[in-house]
Amino acid sequence: MSAERPAPAAGITGSRALEAEVTRWFAVSARDLPWRRPGATAWEVLVSEFMLQQTPVPRVLPAYRAWLGRWPTARALAAATPGDAVRQWGALGYPRRAIRLHACAVIISARHGGRVPASLEALREMPGVGDYTAAAVTSFAFGQRHAVLDTNVRRVLARLVGGRQFPAGSVSAGERALAESLLPPAAGRRAATWSAALMELGALICTPARPACDRCPVAHRCAWRAAGMPPGPPPRRGAPYQGSDRQCRGSLLAVLRSADGPVAPAALAAAWPDPAQRDRALGALLFDGMAVRRDDGLICLPGDGRPPPPPGGPGRPGA
DNA sequence: TAGCCGTGGAA
DNA sequence: TTTCCAAGGCT
């Protein structure tokens, strides 16, 4: 046999060399991000992971600094109201993440002594923490050995090993097995570094469109490239946003966010012309706990107009 | 599991 | 101008 061909998915050969090539590239090319610095706390890592869910790094950076400047610990955030969290979240998008992160802070304070739990299972029980975020926190904050399958890692593995341009719609068992088989040994933080490096490779080099193969440290191993980079079916597109209920919700929430206190329905009416859609969106916000209708009919963010829970108190039943 | 949940910058 | 997309999670 002459030139090495791409290895099959299971038991890929040269894993050790692959790790070395990717991590060497990472050591030189990685962005200097605050949540990656050695001193970053688990809380800081958790905050970063929430903010990075479907939100680009450049937009997260200032929000991350401001958030941790205000609430450096889970206990600090737990002492605030959910409405405070939504306001501080600002226009990062997906504001329910702020509600869920606040709920995490309350749980961490009440059930985990104020420390972010270090187990996959305990993390997974918290709102807004799915398979990816739990694996990311245990890996990056605690140095554990878990496969971290985000959209970047999935795309890199789909191309490098699978020979396809894009991964499937959801994580398959085979994909997870592959990612785990490629994980370096448990010694030190090798597995965490490997995962961070794969993510960075996907974010900077192996991008969805126009991948920079000329700068890829493992282009010589890439199954997709070896196959001539055949185009795969494009990922599914979401519903149009302009004029959608989502946009309407966003507009209403922007009004509540910028107001210091409760808002009259008329103020919301000014933010969206269509009454039926407006009422539908407001109903959804109320249903989701993103907004509250007071007895006097005014609308506010959750926790507005009430004293914040005492420190260490939330989660404890009455009086 | 497919559809929904925000936002704004880049192509 | 429109389209695409960015470290997911939930139902």
pLDDT at position A172 over 50: yes
Find the Å distance, CA of residue A298 to C1' of nucleotide C7: 38
pLDDT at position A14 over 70: no
- Closest nucleotide to A132: CA versus each C1': C8
Alpha helices in A141-231 (DSSP H): 151-160, 173-181, 190-204, 223-226
The answer to whether A125 is a known catalytic residue is no
Neighbours of A212 (CB within 10 A): 11
Q: pLDDT at position A234, please?
A: 84
**Cα→Cα distances A315→A110, A299, A309, Å:** 6, 25, 10
Please state, in angstroms and rounded to a whole number, the distance separating the CA atoms of residues A282 and A288: 10
Q: Does any strand C atom come closer than 7 Å to the Cβ of A40? A: no
Subset of residues 183-222 in chain A with CB less than 7 angstroms from any atom in strand B: none
Find the Å distance, CA of residue A210 to C1' of nucleotide B4: 29
Per the CB < 8 A criterion, the answer to whether A305 and A262 are in contact is yes
pLDDT at position A8 over 60: no
Q: pLDDT at position A168, please?
A: 93
Q: pLDDT at position A236, please?
A: 82
Residue written as token pair 């997974």: A124
Q: Does any strand B atom come closer than 7 Å to the Cβ of A74? A: no
Please state, in angstroms and rounded to a whole number, the distance separating the CA atoms of residues A259 and A266: 13
Subset of residues 17-36 in chain A with CB less than 7 angstroms from any atom in strand C: 33, 35-36
Cα of A101 vs its chain's centroid, Å: 11
Query: A169-204: buried (b, 16+ CB within 10 Å) or exposed (e) per residue?
Result: eebeeebeebbeebbbeeeebbbbbbbbbbbbbbbb
pLDDT at position A308 over 70: no
Find the Å distance, CA of residue A55 to C1' of nucleotide B8: 10
Tokens linked to A131: 């398979």
Q: pLDDT at position A238, please?
A: 87
Q: pLDDT at position A57, please?
A: 98
Per the CB < 8 A criterion, the answer to whether A82 and A290 are in contact is no
Segment A73-97 mean pLDDT = 98
Handedness of CA A198, A201, A202, A203 (dihedral sign): positive
Q: Does any strand C atom come closer than 7 Å to the Cβ of A287? A: no
**Cα→Cα distances A285→A100, A248, A278, A279, Å:** 14, 10, 10, 10
Q: pLDDT at position A131, please?
A: 98
Question: What does pLDDT average to over chain A?
Answer: 92
pTM of the full structure: 0.92
Quick one: which residue's CA is nearest to B5's C1'?
A94
Q: pLDDT at position A187, please?
A: 85
pLDDT at position A10 over 50: no
Find the Å distance, CA of residue A208 to C1' of nucleotide C5: 9
Segment A249-259 mean pLDDT = 97
Q: Does any strand B atom come closer than 7 Å to the Cβ of A240? A: no
Most confident of A232-236, A277-281, A313-317: A277-281
Segment A235-240 mean pLDDT = 87
Per the CB < 8 A criterion, the answer to whether A105 and A303 are in contact is no
Find the Å distance, CA of residue A1 to C1' of nucleotide C11: 51
